[in-house]
Amino acid sequence: MSDRRAVGFFDSGVGGLTVLREVIRRLPNESTIYIGDNARAPYGPRTDEEVKRFSAECLDELASRDVKAIVVACNTSSAVALPDLRLRYNMPLLGVVRPGATAAALATRNRRVGVIGTAATIRSHAYFQAIKEEDPFVEVIEHATPDLVPLVEAGRLEGPLVEDVVRRSIAPITDSDCDPDTLLLGCTHYPLLASIFRDIVGPDVAVIDTATATASALAHLLEMHDLNAPAGEPAQHVQLTTGDVAAFEVIAERLFGTDFTQVERVAVAGAA
Ligand code: DGL
């Protein structure tokens, strides 16, 4: 059995393309429809109510396009809205928190994990809980790093200034007595700064990104539900944005190269 329908992806903006990129690499037969709610991004400073409402409006759009499964690629939405979203749709939904938490719990040897993310993600303690569910003996230190998304959105991915901001942002974790040997990047944008994180924390700390872990989890999920796309048929990839198409293309191109430039504007309820 196979299913040629697309997999839906949702993020607050362009950051979820880090997850999409890993999925296309890992599952080249799968077609995808990606929606970025750029008109209302960033979600990190939003209230839980806003994150839940905006997420549902975007997922309604994906569901109306007959996707076979949805990846909530946004960490903030996964952390805050996933339980509500699961009740709303009758199809497999995959968030990024669980795959990232599992990967971190497996990676740590001293059973200490540092987690960074947006203010809303850290406030939810979703990563804390998910890691504890994997292994209750893992100590988890969480810290919000709100300065990093604006940096990435501005296309600043390297250089001394960026290194300085990253170093200061994670200092409460790196300087803590907890001394974690694993750093979990709990935000779509952070994989784009992965080499800077690695340089700062050094070779003894594993840097885990949720994009890679989520691509593996999606492969399992499609297999489990008998939803794999047939082999040998070309995959189609569509990107939708609630915001400005040109702005989406510019930032996607700046961050990822020219792969994601067939973007269409979509009006979802609430963000029209
Ligand atoms: N996509 C968000 C996340 O992964 C980061 C950007 C935002 O704050 O909307 O948490």
Could you state, in order of their start, the residue ranges of all structural domains in the chain?
Answer: 7-95+212-265, 97-210
Cα dist from 237 to 7, 14, 32, 131, 252, whole Å: 10, 15, 5, 33, 14
- 66 backbone φψ class: left, alpha, beta (φ>0; ψ -120 to 50): left
Identify the residue whose tokens are 């047939």. 230
Q: Is the CB of 210 under 6 A from ligand 1?
A: no
Q: Is the CB of 95 under 6 A from ligand 1?
A: no
Does position 139 have pLDDT exceeding 90, yes or no? yes
Q: How far apart are alpha carbons 10 and 51 in whole angstroms?
A: 12
Cα–ligand 1 centroid distance for 74 (angstroms): 6
Q: What is the pLDDT of residue 269?
A: 81
In this structure, the residue with its CA closest to atom 2 of ligand 1 is 74
Helix (H) or strand (E) holding 11: strand 7-11
Instruction: Say whether 58 is catalytic.
Output: no
pLDDT (tens digit, 9 = 90+) per residue, 52-84?
A: 999 999 999 999 999 999 999 999 999 999 999
CATH architecture for the domain at 7-95+212-265:
3-Layer(aba) Sandwich (3.40)
Cα–ligand 1 centroid distance for 42 (angstroms): 6
Query: In CATH terms, is domain 97-210 a member of 3.40.50.300?
Result: no
Mutate to test the pocket of ligand 1, among 187, 190, 192 (most ligand atoms within 8 A of CB): 187
DSSP string of 73-97, one letter each residue: --HHHHHHHHHHHHHH-SS-EEESH
Cα–ligand 1 centroid distance for 232 (angstroms): 34
Give the tokens for residue 109: 């040897």
Instruction: Say whether 178 is catalytic.
Output: no
User: CATH topology of 7-95+212-265 equal to that of 97-210?
Assistant: yes
Q: Is the CB of 149 under 6 A from ligand 1?
A: yes
Q: What number of other Cβ atoms are within 10 A of residue 241's Cβ?
A: 24
Q: How far apart are alpha carbons 183 and 112 in whole angstroms?
A: 9
The pLDDT mean for the chain works out to 95
When pLDDT is cut at 50, 70 and 90, the band that residue 192 belongs to is very high
